[in-house]
Structure 1
C-alpha cells in the first residue's frame, strides 16, 4: 500500500511535469502560437491536466496495481493532450489572425476551439441563405480548415426564441447545413464535418430585445481532436 501511494505521487509529478515541459512545436510551419496563460502555454496547461486525468484513470482501472496504472495513465494521456495542444495552439493563433475584424469570435476551451458567428453577419431573419457579408469570413475559414486538417468540424445552428419551436429547429439545421455545404464546396474535407440544429436552445443573450435575439441567431463551429489520432509532440 505504501509503495502504491508512492507511485501515485510519482504519477502526479509526471502529470505536472508533462504540463511544464518545454518542447519544440511540430506545427511551427502552421502559424504562430501564442502564450496567453500568464507564462504557461495552453499546450503545457492542457498537457498537464490531461496527464493528471490519465493518472487518476489509470489508478482506477488497475485496482491491483494502482501505482503502476497511475504512472502509465499519466504518461499516455499527458503525451496525447500535449500533442494536440501544440496543434490547437497554432490553429487558434492562425484563426485569430484570419478572423480579425470579421465579427467572428474565436474562443479556446481546453482542447476545443469554438468560433461564434453572430446573426448580423450570417443570415437574414428567418432565412438560411448565406448573407453577402458572411462569404469573406467563410472563405477565410475554408482556407484555414484546409491548412489545419487534423481535427473534426462540428457546425451548430441556433435561432432566437421567436416563432414555433419546430420551425426554429428546422431553420437552425438548414443554416448549419448551408455553412457546411459552402465550406465543402471550397475544398474542406466533408468527412471531417458534421452539422446540428439547436434552435433556440442555449441562448447566449436575452431574447427580450432585438440585440439579444440577434446574438442568439448565430452559428457556432467547434473544432475538436480526431478520436484515436496520434498528434506528435516534437
Structure 2
C-alpha cells in the first residue's frame, strides 16, 4: 500500500512536470499564454497527465501505482501535443487574419474566428461579399496546413424579419462559407454547418452597427475525438 501511494504521488509529479517541460515556441507572445503566464501547452499537459494518472490508477486495480504512472505519461503526452498544436495554429491564424476584420479567440481547447457582417454578407443575402474572399482564402490555406481539427461553421443573422427566414438565411450563409472552403481544397469531411439565426446576438439590434455585428459567421475549431496529438504536426 505504501509503495502504491508513493507511485501515485510520483504520477502526480509527472503530471505537473509534463506540463512545465512542454516546449512552447510562443512563450513570449500573449495570445499563447493564459492569464497566469503558463502556456496553454503546459496546462493541457499537466491537467491531461493528472487525469490520466487518476484513470490509470482506477483501471489497474491490482497495481494502482503502476497504472497511475502509465496513465500520466500517455495522457500527458497527448494533451500537451494538442496544446502545442493549437498554440501554433492560433498564432498562424492571428497573423493571417491581421487587418482583415476577423477576430481570433482562444477558448480553452477551441479556437473561434468571428467574421462580422460588414465583411461577410450584405443584408438579407447569402452571397459572399467581395471583401470576404481574401480572409476566406487565408483561412483555407491555414486549414490545409493545420488539418487536424474539426471545423464547425455557424451562421447568424440580425433580428430583422421572421425567425424562420433568419434561420434559413443563417444556414445558407454557413453553407456558402463551407462550399467556398471546400472549393479551395479544404477536406469537406472536416466541415459541419449550422444556422443559429438571430440567437446569441453579440450587439444590440437597435442600430445598424449592432445589426452588422450580429450578421456574422463564426468558425469553431475543435480537436478530433480520438486523434493522437502526441507529436506536433510539422509545417
TM class, shorter-length: 0.7 to 0.9
Structure-2 change in CA distance of 1:64 and 1:186 (3 Å): same
CA contact (8 A) 1:32 1:94 kept: no
Q: Secondary structure at the match of 1:119?
A: coil
Match of 1:132 in 2: 130
Deviates more, 1:81-90 or 1:57-66: 57-66
Task: Tell me how far 1:161 sits from its aligned partner.
Answer: 2.5
TM-score of the two chains, using structure 2 as the length reference: 0.84
Task: Tell me how far 1:56 sits from its aligned partner.
Answer: 3.6
Task: Tell me how far 1:28 sits from its aligned partner.
Answer: 14
Question: Residue by residue, what CA displacement relative to the aligned partner does 1:68-102 show, whole Å, maximum 9, x if unpaired?
Answer: 44433322221111111221111111111110000
Q: Distance in 1 between matches of 2:133 and 2:27?
A: 29
Task: Tell me how far 1:158 sits from its aligned partner.
Answer: 1.3
Structure-2 change in CA distance of 1:34 and 1:185 (3 Å): farther
Question: Residue by residue, what CA displacement relative to the aligned partner does 1:209-230 show, whole Å, maximum 9, x if unpaired?
Answer: 3333222221111112222222
Structure-2 change in CA distance of 1:229 and 1:178 (3 Å): same
Kindly report the root-mean-square deviation, in angstroms, between the aligned alpha carbons of the 2 structures: 3.5
Question: Residue by residue, what CA displacement relative to the aligned partner does 1:121-156 show, whole Å, maximum 9, x if unpaired?
Answer: 111111111111101100111111111112221111
CA contact (8 A) 2:116 2:215 kept: yes
Match of 1:92 in 2: 90
Q: Distance in 2 between matches of 1:61 and 1:169?
A: 46
CA contact (8 A) 2:53 2:71 kept: yes
The answer to whether structure 1 residue 81 and structure 2 residue 90 are counterparts is no
Q: Secondary structure at the match of 2:5?
A: helix
Q: Distance in 2 between matches of 1:122 and 1:193?
A: 18
CA contact (8 A) 2:124 2:169 kept: yes
Q: Distance in 1 between matches of 2:108 and 2:138?
A: 23
Q: Distance in 1 between matches of 2:212 and 2:60?
A: 51
CA contact (8 A) 1:31 1:90 kept: no
Task: Tell me how far 1:208 sits from its aligned partner.
Answer: 3.5
CA contact (8 A) 2:153 2:178 kept: yes
- Give ranges in structure 1 of 5+ residues lacking alignment: none
Task: Tell me how far 1:34 sits from its aligned partner.
Answer: 7.9
Task: Tell me how far 1:181 sits from its aligned partner.
Answer: 0.4
CA contact (8 A) 2:26 2:32 kept: no
TM-score of the two chains, using structure 1 as the length reference: 0.84
CA contact (8 A) 1:15 1:48 kept: yes
Question: Residue by residue, what CA displacement relative to the aligned partner does 1:139-183 show, whole Å, maximum 9, x if unpaired?
Answer: 111111111112221111112233222222111111110000001
Q: Distance in 2 between matches of 1:229 and 1:139?
A: 26
Question: Residue by residue, what CA displacement relative to the aligned partner does 1:191-217 show, whole Å, maximum 9, x if unpaired?
Answer: 111111122222222334333322222
CA contact (8 A) 1:51 1:81 kept: yes
Alignment: residue pair count: 231
Q: Secondary structure at the match of 1:26?
A: coil
